[in-house]
Amino acid sequence: MSFLEIKNIFKSFGKTEVLKGIDFSMERGEVLAIIGSSGSGKTTLLRCINFLETPDTGMISVNGNVLFNSDESPYSDAEKREKRLHFGLVFQQFNLFPQYNVLRNVSLAPNLRQIKGKKLSKTEKKEIKKQIDDNSRRLLDTVGLSDKVNNFPCELSGGQQQRVAIARALALNPDILCFDEPTSALDPELTGEVLRVIRELKTSDRTMIVVTHEMNFARGVADKVIFMADGVIEEYGTPDEVFGAPKSEKTKSFLEKSLENP
Amino acid sequence: MSFWDVTRQLADGFGITLLIFGITLAASLPLGLIITFGSMSKIPPIKWITKVFVWIIRGTPLMLQIILIFYGPGLLNWDVKLPRLTAVLIAFVINYSCYFSEIYRGGIESISKGQYEAGQVLGMTKTQIFFKIVLFQVIKRIVPPMGNEIITLVKDTSLARVIAVAELVKAAENIISVKGIIWPLFYVGAFYLLFSALLTFLLNFAEKKMNYYSG
């Protein structure tokens, strides 16, 4: 059994069928790039995996644990919260919390998880807080922002904000880190720093799914590539297979167009 | 009647004005939030009942509401006789809660979906998302419209005189009718102006305090 298994995901919004039967699997430590034109269902797929949308049918499992199965009764909010923590998500628009400084953006969620509602002595709380702070600083160092811990998001460039968002997603140590077009909202000169950080995470054995329009990045960094079109996986394979020798006509024409307007 | 006598009498009235202002504000700020939750509820009956209620309160004059709450029970032969000030306070709190609730709603709806989703994917509960992420951003955004409403409240307190509560304007009217002098009315204006100047200063201060971030 693979680390991540996605089976037969269907999702409609009203009468619009967005996902029409998605199946794929990933191994631990793999980086998967999902490419495809706008409206092909890439983002919806990622949102289904992160429990922001509920698939109409299908099954999702990580490391043998079934996290979603449409045959089971709907999950409670508390169940969903536990399940979704197997995944982290970095948004296209960063969605940092503007009122908190960079460090607090990263440490807020771990603090809420590990301290709120638990019976802990003051010293225990202090100890945990310190660990979380240290870990947050370490993560911010990993994304190259150790000098910005006290700044507010509005004081950072888009690229820096997105790197904070990556550190924030890592802070809960998810099994699989997802990126929803992480560079699409950035000025062209800022995409490099974000892609570099993602590339560096790969070497640390992270399992990642990256929805992206950056073909060079997909080709250079991903272990596997999925090309989506009209709600189905049109092509799946290694970057060399998908970019070098695409089988489907749709993939070919998409790649031709993307290379014309990189 | 000397200037000091007038001042003392007006100060008594101003005390009532401040009382109406303070209690209305203290009660309406939290009550408004509850009404907001009602009008944003996903349960249709709660949502629609709240919306109709807000529509009625915002769609009729506060003065009428004061009169109804004070005389209404008696006209219906109910055995309740509300003290005048209590009736005024009830009317003000209900009225201002409804106005505040709409300002809150506007503020809450202006927060992007992405903020909620960011909280969700980080495993936060709905309550945590609201209190840890959304609320402060809402407060920052609604300070200017709330300021407007609060300044309006200062002057609306004068409506209490419709059921003979001796607030500031009523106190001045009493002097005028007894002594036949007009200048205390202008003096009353100064009270309101000074008080709203103080509030404006405080509100600006709050606005500046929260401007440490933008967005």
- Chain A contact for B114 (CB, 8 A cutoff): yes
Q: What is the pLDDT along chain A (262 residues), one digit of tens a residue?
A: 788 999 989 999 988 888 898 899 998 889 999 998 888 889 999 999 999 998 899 999 888 888 888 888 788 888 888 888 899 999 999 999 999 999 999 999 998 888 877 777 888 888 889 999 999 999 999 888 889 999 999 999 988 999 999 999 999 989 999 999 988 888 888 888 888 888 888 877 789 999 988 888 888 888 899 999 888 898 898 988 888 888 888 888 888 887 776 5
Q: How far is A99 from chain B (nearest CA, A)?
A: 6
CB A50 within 8 A of CB A95: no
Q: What's A10-52 look like in SS3? A: EEEECCEEEEEEEEEEECCCCEEEEECCCCCCHHHHHHHHCCC
Residues of A in contact with B215 (CB under 8 A): 98, 153-154
Residues B117, A91: C-beta atoms closer than 8 Å? yes
Q: Is B204 on the interface with A (CB under 8 A)?
A: no
**Reduced to 3 states, what is the DSSP secondary structure of residue B40?**
coil
- Domain of B159 in residue numbering reads as 3-212
- B136-147 mean pLDDT: 91
Number of domains in chain B: 1
> Chain A contact for B5, CB < 8 A?
no
Are the beta carbons of B213 and A100 closer than 8 angstroms? no
The three-state secondary structure class of A66 is strand
- Give the tens place of pLDDT for each residue, B56-102: 999 999 999 999 998 888 788 787 788 888 999 999 999 999 999 99
Residue count of chain A: 262
Task: Write the CATH number for A249.
Answer: 3.40.50.300
Q: Work out the average pLDDT over B132-149.
A: 91
User: Residue A99: closest CA among chain B residues belongs to which residue?
Assistant: B213
> With an 8 Å Cβ cutoff, is A51 touching chain B?
yes
* d(C-alpha B77, C-alpha A51), whole Å: 57
Q: Which amino acid is at A88?
A: G
CA distances from A231 to A8, A47, A61, B53, B65 (A): 12, 14, 20, 45, 57
Look at A95 and B212 and tell me if their CB atoms are within 8 Å: no
Of B117, B124, B126, the CB nearest to A112: B124
For residue B134, report the phi and psi dihedrals to the nearest 5 degrees. Answer: -80, -45
Residues B113/B129, Cβ–Cβ less than 8 Å = no
Suggest the residue from B111, B120, B122 to mutate for an interface test with chain A (most A CBs closer than 10 A).
B122
**Using one digit for the tens of pLDDT, what is the confidence trace for B182-203?**
888 888 899 899 999 999 999 9
Please count the structural domains in chain A: 1
User: Which chain B residues touch A97 with a CB distance below 8 Å?
Assistant: 115, 118, 133
Q: Which of A177, A162, A213, A211 is nearest to A88 (CA)?
A: A177
- B153: domain CATH number is 1.10.3720.10
**Contact status, residue A33 vs residue A46, Cβ threshold 8 Å:** no
Instruction: Tell me the residue range of the domain where A107 lies.
Output: 4-260
Q: What pLDDT band is residue B1 in, cutting at 50, 70 and 90?
A: low
Q: In what order do the strands lie in the sheet with A207-211?
A: A87-90, A176-180, A207-211, A31-35, A224-229, A232-237
Distance CA B41, CA B74 (A): 35
Identify the closest residue of chain A to B114 by CA–CA distance. Answer: A95
Q: Are B120 and A112 in contact (CB under 8 A)?
A: no
Residue A168 with chain B: CB contacts under 8 Å: 122
Residue of A nearest to B116 (CA): A95
Three-state SS for A134-175 is HHHHHHHHHCCCHHHCCCCHHHCCHHHHHHHHHHHHHCCCCC
Q: Residue B164: its pLDDT value, please?
A: 81
Give A177's DSSP letter.
Answer: E
Beta bridge partners of A10: A20, A57
**What are the φ and ψ backbone dihedral angles of B70, each rounded to 5 degrees?**
-80, -50
A4 Cβ partners below 8 Å, 6+ apart?
A: A25, A26, A60, A61, A62, A176, A207
